[in-house]
Amino acid sequence: MAELEKLQKAAELIEAMTDGKQLFGTADGMPQIFMDQGVEWQAEYPPLAIRMKRVPSADGNQFTFGFRAHLEMTGSGMDAAAMRGFEKAVRKFRVLLDTLETLSFTPTRSELEQFVEWIERREEQAKKQALEQKKDTGLIMGR
Q: Which is nearest to 14 in space by CA: 72, 89, 93?
A: 93
Q: pLDDT value at position 57? A: 92
What pLDDT score was predicted for residue 2? Answer: 92
pLDDT at 44 over 60: no
Q: Which amino acid is at 92?
A: K
Angle (CA) 34 35 36, round 5°: 110
Query: Measuring CA to CA, which residue among 7, 102, 100, 89 is closest to residue 43?
Result: 89
Cβ-contact 92, 17 below 8 angstroms: yes
Select, from the ranges 16-25, 85-94, 104-113, the one with the highest average predicted confidence (pLDDT). 104-113
pLDDT for 134 equals 78
**Measuring CA to CA, which residue among 24, 10, 2, 110 is closest to residue 66?**
10
3-17 and 109-141 helices, crossing angle to 10°? 40
* Confidence class for position 3, pLDDT limits 50, 70, 90: very high
Q: How far is CA 22 from the centre of its chain?
A: 4
How many domains is the chain partitioned into structurally? 1
pLDDT of 116 strictly over 60: yes
The parent domain of residue 45 ranges over 3-141
Please give the model's pTM, rounded to 2 decimal places. 0.80
